[in-house]
A and B are shown apart, each in its own frame.
Chain A
Amino acid sequence: MTALAWLIPLLPFLAFGLIVFFGRRLPGQGASVAIGALLAAAVFSLLLFFRLLGGAEPIRSTINWLVLGQQPLALGIQVDALTAVMLLVVTVVGSMIFIYSVGYMHGDPRYPRFFAYLSLFAASMLLLVLADNFLFLYVGWELVGLCSYLLIGFWFERPAAARASLKAFITTRVGDVFFFAGILLVFFNLGTLGFGQTFEAVESGHLSGGLLTGIALLLFGGAIGKSAQVPLHVWLPDAMEGPTPVSALIHAATMVAAGVYMVARLFLIFFSSPDHTALAVVAWIGGISAFMAATIAVVQDDIKRVMAYSTISQLGYMMLGLGVLGYTAGVFHLMTHAFFKALLFLGAGSVIHAMHTNDIKQMGGLAKVMPSTYWTMLIGSLALAGIFPFAGFWSKDEILTEAWHNNPPLFYVGLVTSFITAFYVMRMMFYTFLGEPRWAPAHESSGHGQGTVVHPHESPRVMTGPLWFLAFFAAFIGFVGAPFLGSPFGRFVRFGEEAAVPFDLRIAVISTAVALAGMGVAAALYRWRWLSPAAVRRAFQPFSTWAERKYYFDDLYGWTVVRGTVWASRVLRVFDIYVIDGFVNLIGVVFVGLTRLYRVFDLYVVDGLVNLIGWGTKALGGVLRFVQTGRAENYLLVIAIGVILLIIGGLVR
């Protein structure tokens, strides 16, 4: 069985290897290899899922990745309830998206490379989900970040895509640094990276108090980065530059959910921080992100940007769920969201594929032209809004009940957000599918057509197939957690022993009412035109401009971080050249000066001395010359004086 678990991440990885080296020559230019690998992984995860459902023990297997000093660092994988669910989500949604992208990416010059990146992404996501220790989690975490970088920047000819991929990687990398710091702190205190040992240490109280909260918050920092929560959410909207299947797979269903999965996986750490401060932080950050992203989504015109902000908002919802001790609620919402958000993205993809534009203001009236896309997206929107039979209703409702019980103010935030969610999703639907077409069909002469010249058509079966598959799940996956069926999901995926909060009809009714109200207002504005959207915008004047300017986060980061680093690097470069190099060259110049000084010193002083002696002797000679008079008697005189001196000398001594 464990071999099976190891195979799940390895299969897509092998597919990646194969495609990279033999891309073109593989069947279906690598696509079928990728899809085959992922489908196999899906089958294996189903097998594991049913084994676990049948009450089998969670699988664990480790290898000695490396030995430090005496003690080896054992790293491995584990499959328990949470992992099984995530495996299912990733593989099922993943394969649907793989199949969809065969049609979507048809004819792209770098077609095999796209599937190579997708397989690598699937492999690293599976590794992340299966990890039983911080290191594999972190490795999967970073590799997933890499794949999102590669896939966002897939059409790198477009400078916007290049910048977006860079922005995505750097922002997630900032989050990863906090995550890494958290891991280091754990290793520093416990000397081990495995989750098992960490949980034992937390239970035994060896790791507790402020330190535990610190670790929890640092780890949550990573989650903020990866799941695009408030401070580090700026990269997700720009990530829409990538191809739509990428946005669907990575930026809706799986990768961004990694942050939520990480919080769920390490829930014990968050849970046991003194009086749940960590969980409160998670909840509030989730709440704020949910509300703020929802407000921004309302004013977005690009269909994918709307979806992006909706994802941030829904992720905020999951964090909120987890934060208010709703472990099952959070995970359940994660699963349902994966399905209907992937569906909405793929639908948007097929719309873009047909209309060759993202701007919903240039669409309209597509319902008749693209019926299957319209109906599947309608199901998706209703699920997102949280209307009764659909998946969104059950998971969002559970979160709201948990919030109601544990953190009332957040309940109200949740409620308002669900109202806005319903509003913006319906607004998007009305703009895109209903109302009069704001484009001129191609065959008419485009004399008066005020829209773009385009001929929308329904996407090919290879794209609509997955849409219907996902629509089915978006509709009925909710029942898995339905209370009246004894919430099987709650029993399967739960934290600790106490059961999830019982189903509360009153909250269900309130939330549905709020959702319907939201849709009603949207219909009033866009379908029946009671109010003009411009008037509403003027009414909420200060907030709406904030929302349009995305709460100025981008400009803030642009000014402080980006410009700051570039400025710092330029200053340091100049500093390096002039100061340090200057200093070195200065020493060089000083030494050259010294050598010149020595030459002068040597020339004048030492040489001078020698010449002086020469000159001195000559001068002395000149003086003494006069003594040599040539006259004998002078010499006699000198001799006589000499004798006298000698005598005196002799007498004296």
Chain B
Amino acid sequence: MLSLMLFLPLAGGIFLLFFRNPRAIRGIALGASLLSLYVSIVVLGRFDLHGGMQLLESYSWIPAVGIAYRVGIDGLSLPLVLLTQLLSAVSIVYSWRVDMRLKEYMFLLLLLQTAMLGVFAALDFFLFYIFWEVTLVPMYFLIGIWGGPRKEYAAIKFFLFTLIGSLAMLVGILLLYFNAAPRTFDVLSLIQQQPLAGQLRLATIAFWGFFLSFAIKVPMWPFHTWLPDAHVEAPTAGSVILAGILLKLGTYGFVRYSLTLFPQVFQQYASLIAILALLGIIYGALVAMAQTDLKKLVAYSSVNHMGYVMLGVSAAAFAYGKPDLAPAATTALNGAVFEMIAHGVITGALFLIVGVIYDYRAHTRGVDEFGGLGAILPVYSGITMVAMLASLGLPALMGFVAEFLIFLGSFGVFPGFAATGLLGIIITAAMFLWTIQRIFLGPANPRWKGLADMDTRELVALVPLTVLMVIFGVYPRPLLDIINAAMTTLVAALR
């Protein structure tokens, strides 16, 4: 069942290579993606809330070395899988009007979808590493071919940055592999036997290896410079997926691997990582405020949001070993994972919104060149308003619930950092509202007089995301229970 879901998009991708006329290609691409989405919904139906790791599939691949195709899903990866499916389907719908080399474009999107699903479902380090690397390739081409003016620079920078990180991770994986008693790559058994529990020095090296790779992906403060470039140059659908899901690979990695495999070391450095997260929050918001390019602004806001996630994760890490802080750690983790989903939906929508203005209408992303669009594009400004308000954490929208939980949790673990994090809320609010003001409010800019409002393609892409933001903002129970079950078991296992 799970493998079917994983490889359906890829199968669709290969299948569409044999067709020539664009209508067929688009149909198959959307079909494959929707079918995979349907399968994942069936998986959701089958998913038993308190079952821990389910739908396990394991076929031996290279038995000599202990590598097997192990795939499974639990409360942490299921929401992310659903998010991937949703955003991929949305971005395929959005890129309906792409005409340059459509076949490769759709193939790359589907390949990317399979790779991302793989990363979330993989339970074998070798398989995880393969999918992790495979995600890079399509994104590199997406940026490199369909990108903006400086696309080569951005694509290469993106690729190299993440590659260096993943090499560091490889060191970590191998350290784990060689210290494991029966020499295996199986994540579950590695978590069981905690191979590096004893040697602190090795564990630290492995931890920093994993940290570098995930931190680049998140991106955390010092390693974030690839993100704005990659986003500015990436095509809209590309940056939707890049911001929507690829950033989550890093945080997912932190929660799934760093937290469970190196709890003592992570706890030691938790305060340092928290500081980096805080820097991400405040630094991201401030720099976003100074941006003139809308896409770069949203990119830096992602740095800001992922800072919150990392604040939650480092809070959970800091609470390792202190049983009384367990509830706070669970809340922080719940908040962090919920924020991942929330950020995925919201920033996905934001990038689509930027795309709507940029791709076929104004062809410029300068925030100051707009003004008074509120009157000209009512529907568009309505949806953007909702997305931006959700992003700055307005209650009754998805962003608030996540931030609320993160602060509830991290305040319990280290009040000092959480308090400074609160400062971030004001700056984020100021940044987004200033953007809204520069684009939508003020006198109607004559230059954009004739702009058409959103067409069906864009509406079909954006409306589901906006509806999701409101639903999960008002009543987050359904999504949160899945995450909560997984997080409670994870935190309990940590003790």
A-side interface residues toward B, CB under 8 Å? 64-71, 135, 138-139, 141-143, 146, 149, 153, 156-159, 161-163, 165-166, 169-170, 173-174, 177, 180-181, 184-185, 187-188, 191, 565-566, 568-570, 572-573, 576, 580-581, 584
Given the interface pairs A142-B400, A576-B287, the reply to whether A67 lies near B477 with Cβ below 8 Å is yes
Interface residues of B in 401-438 (CB under 8 A from A): 401, 404-405, 407-408, 411-412, 415, 418-419, 422-423, 425-427, 429-430, 433-434, 437
Task: Verify B488–A142 contact, CB threshold 8 A.
Answer: no
B218 at the interface (CB under 8 A from A): no
A149–B442 CA distance with the chains assembled, in angstroms: 14
Task: Verify B411–A187 contact, CB threshold 8 A.
Answer: yes
B165 at the interface (CB under 8 A from A): no
A368–B419 CA distance with the chains assembled, in angstroms: 58
B113 at the interface (CB under 8 A from A): no
Task: Verify A139–B331 contact, CB threshold 8 A.
Answer: no
Some 18 contacts from A to B, beta carbons below 8 A apart, are: A66-B477, A69-B330, A69-B487, A143-B394, A156-B374, A156-B440, A163-B437, A170-B433, A174-B426, A177-B425, A180-B407, A187-B408, A188-B328, A188-B411, A565-B430, A566-B289, A569-B286, A569-B290
Given A65-B476, A188-B328, A565-B286: 15 more A-B contacts, CB < 8 Å: A65-B477, A66-B401, A69-B484, A70-B488, A71-B327, A153-B437, A157-B375, A157-B443, A181-B419, A181-B422, A187-B412, A566-B290, A572-B286, A576-B283, A580-B224
Q: Which of A66, A156, A177 contacts B480 (CB 8 A)?
A: A66
In the assembled complex, the CB of B192 is this many whole angstroms from the nearest CB of chain A, namely 23
Residues of A within 8 A of B222 (CB): 580
- Map CB proximity to A onto B250-291 as digits: 1 under 8 Å, 0 otherwise: 000000000000000000000000000000000100111111
A174–B425 CA distance with the chains assembled, in angstroms: 9
Q: Which of B327, B426, B427 contacts A69 (CB 8 A)?
A: B327
Q: How many residues of B are in contact with the other chain, CB < 8 A?
A: 61
Task: Verify B290–A570 contact, CB threshold 8 A.
Answer: yes
Task: Verify A162–B157 contact, CB threshold 8 A.
Answer: no
A71–B328 CA distance with the chains assembled, in angstroms: 12
Given the interface pairs A68-B405, A156-B374, the reply to whether A146 lies near B433 with Cβ below 8 Å is no
The 4 closest A-B pairs by CB, nearest first: A162-B441, A573-B290, A139-B395, A156-B441
Task: Verify B331–A68 contact, CB threshold 8 A.
Answer: yes
Residues of A within 8 A of B87 (CB): none
| B222 nearest in chain A by CB position | A580
Residues of A within 8 A of B419 (CB): 181
Task: Verify B407–A581 contact, CB threshold 8 A.
Answer: no
Given the interface pairs A184-B408, A572-B287, the reply to whether A580 lies near B427 with Cβ below 8 Å is no
Task: Verify A165–B441 contact, CB threshold 8 A.
Answer: yes
Task: Verify B375–A568 contact, CB threshold 8 A.
Answer: no
Most buried by B among A68, A161, A565, A566: A68
B225 at the interface (CB under 8 A from A): yes
Q: Which of A64, A169, A184, A572 contacts B433 (CB 8 A)?
A: A169
Task: Verify B283–A572 contact, CB threshold 8 A.
Answer: yes
B326 at the interface (CB under 8 A from A): yes
Given the interface pairs A157-B443, A166-B433, the reply to whether A188 lies near B289 with Cβ below 8 Å is no
A142–B389 CA distance with the chains assembled, in angstroms: 11
- Map CB proximity to A onto B370-414 as digits: 1 under 8 Å, 0 otherwise: 001011000000000000010000111000110011011001100
Task: Verify A573–B291 contact, CB threshold 8 A.
Answer: yes
A51–B155 CA distance with the chains assembled, in angstroms: 69
Q: Which of A70, A159, A566, A580 contacts B225 (CB 8 A)?
A: A580
Task: Verify A581–B225 contact, CB threshold 8 A.
Answer: yes
B481 at the interface (CB under 8 A from A): yes
Given the interface pairs A177-B426, A180-B407, A565-B289, the reply to whether A69 lies near B488 with Cβ below 8 Å is yes
| B473 nearest in chain A by CB position | A139
| B415 nearest in chain A by CB position | A188
Task: Verify B418–A184 contact, CB threshold 8 A.
Answer: yes
| B422 nearest in chain A by CB position | A177
Residues of A within 8 A of B487 (CB): 69
B444 at the interface (CB under 8 A from A): yes
| A161 nearest in chain B by CB position | B441
Given the interface pairs A153-B441, A156-B441, A159-B442, the reply to whether A143 lies near B426 with Cβ below 8 Å is no
B334 at the interface (CB under 8 A from A): yes
A67–B89 CA distance with the chains assembled, in angstroms: 30
| B404 nearest in chain A by CB position | A135
In the assembled complex, the CB of A577 is this many whole angstroms from the nearest CB of chain B, namely 8
Residues of B within 8 A of A165 (CB): 437, 441
A181–B396 CA distance with the chains assembled, in angstroms: 19
In the assembled complex, the CB of A247 is this many whole angstroms from the nearest CB of chain B, namely 19
In the assembled complex, the CB of B104 is this many whole angstroms from the nearest CB of chain A, namely 28
- Map CB proximity to A onto B470-495 as digits: 1 under 8 Å, 0 otherwise: 00000111001100100110010000
Residues of A within 8 A of B437 (CB): 153, 162-163, 165-166
Residues of A within 8 A of B412 (CB): 187-188
| A20 nearest in chain B by CB position | B382
Residues of A within 8 A of B400 (CB): 139, 142
Residues of B within 8 A of A69 (CB): 326-327, 330-331, 484, 487-488, 491
| B424 nearest in chain A by CB position | A177
In the assembled complex, the CB of B372 is this many whole angstroms from the nearest CB of chain A, namely 6
In the assembled complex, the CB of A505 is this many whole angstroms from the nearest CB of chain B, namely 48
A184–B334 CA distance with the chains assembled, in angstroms: 16
In the assembled complex, the CB of B420 is this many whole angstroms from the nearest CB of chain A, namely 11
Residues of A within 8 A of B407 (CB): 180, 184
Q: Which of B224, B444, B481 contacts A67 (CB 8 A)?
A: B481
Task: Verify A180–B422 contact, CB threshold 8 A.
Answer: yes
Most buried by A among B289, B423, B444: B289
Task: Verify B372–A157 contact, CB threshold 8 A.
Answer: yes
Task: Verify A68–B289 contact, CB threshold 8 A.
Answer: no
Given the interface pairs A187-B411, A572-B287, the reply to whether A68 lies near B327 with Cβ below 8 Å is yes
Residues of B within 8 A of A580 (CB): 222, 224-225
Residues of B within 8 A of A67 (CB): 477, 480-481, 484
A573–B225 CA distance with the chains assembled, in angstroms: 11
Task: Verify B375–A576 contact, CB threshold 8 A.
Answer: no
In the assembled complex, the CB of A574 is this many whole angstroms from the nearest CB of chain B, namely 8
In the assembled complex, the CB of B379 is this many whole angstroms from the nearest CB of chain A, namely 11
Task: Verify B396–A139 contact, CB threshold 8 A.
Answer: yes
In the assembled complex, the CB of A475 is this many whole angstroms from the nearest CB of chain B, namely 39
Interface residues of B in 310-344 (CB under 8 A from A): 326-328, 330-331, 334
| B338 nearest in chain A by CB position | A66
- Map CB proximity to A onto B154-188 as digits: 1 under 8 Å, 0 otherwise: 00010001000000000000000000000000000
Q: Which of A170, A185, A572, A584 contacts B430 (CB 8 A)?
A: A170
Task: Verify B290–A572 contact, CB threshold 8 A.
Answer: yes
A570–B290 CA distance with the chains assembled, in angstroms: 5
Residues of A within 8 A of B334 (CB): 68
A177–B422 CA distance with the chains assembled, in angstroms: 6
In the assembled complex, the CB of A402 is this many whole angstroms from the nearest CB of chain B, namely 35
Residues of A within 8 A of B157 (CB): 584
In the assembled complex, the CB of A501 is this many whole angstroms from the nearest CB of chain B, namely 38
In the assembled complex, the CB of B459 is this many whole angstroms from the nearest CB of chain A, namely 14
A576–B226 CA distance with the chains assembled, in angstroms: 11
A161–B63 CA distance with the chains assembled, in angstroms: 69
Task: Verify B434–A166 contact, CB threshold 8 A.
Answer: yes
Task: Verify A156–B433 contact, CB threshold 8 A.
Answer: no
Residues of A within 8 A of B491 (CB): 69
| A138 nearest in chain B by CB position | B395
| B286 nearest in chain A by CB position | A569
| A159 nearest in chain B by CB position | B442
Residues of A within 8 A of B411 (CB): 184-185, 187-188
Residues of B within 8 A of A135 (CB): 404
Given the interface pairs A143-B395, A565-B427, the reply to whether A157 lies near B405 with Cβ below 8 Å is no
Residues of A within 8 A of B429 (CB): 169-170, 173
A149–B437 CA distance with the chains assembled, in angstroms: 11
A565–B285 CA distance with the chains assembled, in angstroms: 10
Residues of B within 8 A of A166 (CB): 430, 433-434, 437
| B418 nearest in chain A by CB position | A184
Task: Verify A66–B476 contact, CB threshold 8 A.
Answer: yes
A67–B482 CA distance with the chains assembled, in angstroms: 10
